Structure 1
Amino acid sequence: MSEYFVIILLMTFFAAGVVKGLTGMGLPTVAIGILSLFIALPAAAAMIIIPSFVTNFWQLFTGPSTSRLLKKLWPLVFCIIPGTFVGSFALVSARPEWAVFGLGLALISYALYALIAPAVLLSQKTQRWLGPLTGIVTGIITGATGVSTIPSVPYIQSLSLEKDELVQALGLSFTVSAVAMAAALAVHGSFAAGELTSSCVAIVPSLLGMWLGQKVRNRISTASFRKGFLIFLILLGTELVMRPFM
């Protein structure tokens, strides 16, 4: 890695960690979105694996409801795994500019949904069939773009969870997505020594950023920060979508 890229890597994962500390999510979304401006999308997806796993594993097991959430969300998280393997074929085989185009669409779709969609509460009956379907679709999008927020985040937000449970449930979903993505990239030979080294280097700035984000969470308007973050994702996604036509 060049010194220039190391600086970009450290700054990117520190910023992504701050976002995750403030909102409970966003590290892979921010990191892969920025890194894809400088490197190929499969390499960027590989670099987020370890910091994503570490931060989400921490998030998952720092709450009080791990076993209950596992019982409630196992259909969702189990189905993420095969979906990720299916989607990963598109990530490694598509032309680079169109892989980035797909990432841009995923970022824009998530941000627009989060900004304008009304709150929805799902019945137990609906959860029984929608959970596995959401897991499959989330896995496919994760495998194809490296972004694991759509549609798992809207689904989890519709389950009437308490604030701490919601953050913990997101950690569970993202942890499984990170493990599945690592396995899929390894199968395709896209998780090589270089990406593994960069991914390990990114752990420290990610954790520092997450710690800082958690510290300042109660000192700023989370709603205002979230809105600005989503607008940033729309702008970043638009740049990525436009790239094949430039």
Structure 2
Amino acid sequence: MDVIFSLVSPGGLVIAFCIATLAGLVKGMVGFAMPMILISGLGSFLPPELALAGLILPTLFTNAIQALRQGLRPALDSIRRFRVFMGVALVFLLLSSQLVRVMPVPVLLAMIGGPVALFCVMQLAGWRPHLRGGANTALEALVASVAGFIGGMSGVWGPPMVAYLTAIDTEKREQIRVQGVAYGLGAVALAGAHTVSGVLNAETVRFSALLLIPALAGMWLGMRAHDRIDQEAFRKITLWVLLVAALNLLRRAFFG
């Protein structure tokens, strides 16, 4: 624990556990938003690189659970259907992840907070982009490149994908599974990329592993509560929390 406390104070660790529990709860309820909650919450009081390292293992394990909940075959079907999105996003994720060490902290905070705030405002305003023609390979690749580029530096690449899946009217159960598969593959790539970049190292991986405990507990509670709580109301509350957190990151980026 001495290594952990050299990275974060005991009080900070308690706060981090609470944030991870909330992130897991939301993940279990709606299938996404764990990285956004973790990076926004942890980034409010920890260095951006430590916050990024902290979310890697919880994101990896919870997405594996989500992706394989209905079995291996449906997960493989989802990979085949959205192979363009996943492939392009992974390439851009790997490329941009190497910029973390050289990117100024205010710029990194702005690139994390900006997309999250935009996504929240769009959803809370009730705007749902709709593509009448369904999936479009060129647009899919474009959205994937944006998602991957942002994800490599911030660990957050969900908002563009959720918007795209919503726009092509993806069936709810498949959408949650696709998110689990895509985010899971992204989490594997992110873990590898940031092992190379040095963000995930012998010290920070312990912090990330500790956050697995509350994250998995929260996800278990979220999955149990999924059929008992008004998901739409819970989603809106979550978006407001995310928006406040994202605006706080933008405040730090522009005003210190």
Shorter-normalised TM-score: what interval? Answer: over 0.9
Q: Which residue of 62, 67, 72 corresponds with 2:76?
A: 67
Note the C-alpha offset of 1:41: 1.1
1:35 aligns with 2:30: no
> Normalising to structure 1: TM-score of the pair?
0.93
> Normalising to structure 2: TM-score of the pair?
0.89
1:10 aligns with 2:27: no
| Structure 1: segments with no counterpart, 5+ residues | none
> How does 1:149-168 map onto structure 2 within 5 Å?
149-168=158-177
How far apart in 1 are the matches of 2:188 and 2:239?
A: 26
- Root-mean-square deviation (CA, aligned residues, Å) is 1.7
Note the C-alpha offset of 1:119: 4.5
Give the corresponding residue for 1:229: 238
Give the corresponding residue for 1:56: 63
How far apart in 1 are the matches of 2:50 and 2:128?
A: 35
1:92 aligns with 2:83: no
> How does 1:1-246 map onto structure 2 within 5 Å?
1-2=4-5, 3-63=10-70, 65-116=74-125, 117-121=127-131, 123=133, 126-243=135-252, 244-246=254-256
How far apart in 2 are the matches of 1:34 and 1:133?
A: 29
Residue-pair matches, total: 245
Note the C-alpha offset of 1:241: 0.7
Note the C-alpha offset of 1:122: 5.1
How far apart in 1 are the matches of 2:109 and 2:193?
A: 18
| Structure 2: segments with no counterpart, 5+ residues | none
Note the C-alpha offset of 1:36: 0.5
Note the C-alpha offset of 1:203: 1.3
Contact 1:80 1:176 in 2 (8 A): no
Contact 2:144 2:161 in 1 (8 A): yes
Matched letter for residue 22 of structure 1? M
Identity %: 26
Contact 2:54 2:208 in 1 (8 A): yes
How far apart in 2 are the matches of 1:22 and 1:184?
A: 29
1:171-210 per-residue CA deviation (whole Å, 9 max, x = no partner) reads: 0121122122112212211111121111111112111101
